[in-house]
Structure 1
Amino acid sequence: MSIEIALYDGRPNNGRRTGPALLHLSTGHGGDLAEALAAHAGPSDHRLRRIDPYGDTLLNEQDAGATFEEATALLSRCTTEAQRAAVRDLRNLLAHCAATPGSWLCLYGD
């Protein structure tokens, strides 16, 4: 199980002839990110619990901003340095998405 993260300047697959521009792709922490998210013990209404490790999850800029605090809490519960690095990467991309109007963060599970 692995999760890759892509940050786009617009919504992916929105029917445009040309897709949105890829701003950043994170593939180096997939397995560790999946492990950290699986151990997340937050309520079911938290956005991190909605990330599908086997499918795709889209977050717009508002979702990314709200999810940033959840990722900060998750960081303190990580048990390995590899998990902490993965969650830090996620937090950085969430912050970037929240600060970029119209952007979308896509989490691709396998």
Structure 2
Amino acid sequence: MGIDLQLHDGRPFWPSRRSKRRPTLIRQSHEHGEALAQLIVKLPRNTSGKLWTVAPYNDTIFNEQEAEAALREIPGLLECCTDDSQVETVRDLAAYLEACAATPCSYLVFFGD
């Protein structure tokens, strides 16, 4: 189980789907997928937060407003970390959320498997 991240500067575009839209991928991360999934699964469900809605086995998309809201959850997620690897995972997630929140019309895609 793992969750990969992709940051897009517009509605996500995948070339395999026949479309005349331009590619939108800005950057992606596969490095912390398993650790991110383990942390997300531990979050309390049905709260006012956004990160608990990330599905570890499906894809979840945040727009820039949702990414900004999820940034407020990063300090609490850091408190749940039990080792340096998890801390690095949360920092990577925070960087993606910050970039999404700062980029108009962007989307952050969480690819669960």
Q: Same fold (TM over 0.5)?
A: yes
Counterpart residue number, 2:61: 58
Tell me, in whole angstroms, the C-alpha distance in 2 between the residues paired with 1:62 and 1:20: 22
Partner of 1:7: 7
* Residues 35, 83 of structure 1: 8 Å contact kept: no
Q: Which residue of 2 aligns with 1:87?
A: 90
SS of residue matched to 1:5 = strand
Structure whose alpha-carbon radius of gyration is higher: 2
TM-score normalised by L of structure 2: 0.88
Give 1:13 deviation, angstroms.
4.8
The number of residue pairs the alignment matches comes to 110
Structure 1: tracts of 5 or more residues without a match: none
Match of 1:22 among 20, 25, 30: 25
State the identity as a percent: 40
RMSD of aligned alpha carbons: 1.8
Sort the Cα spacing of 1:49 and 1:40 in 2 relative to 1 into closer, same or farther, 3 A.
same
TM-score (norm. length: structure 1): 0.90
| Partner SS state of residue 73, structure 2 | helix
1:32 aligns with one of 30, 35, 44: 35
Q: How many Å apart are 1:71 and its aligned residue?
A: 2.2
Unmatched runs of 5 consecutive residues or more in structure 2: none
Distance 1:18 1:43 in 2: 36
Question: Deviation at 1:87?
Answer: 0.9
Q: Is the 8 A contact 1:48 1:71 kept in 2?
A: no
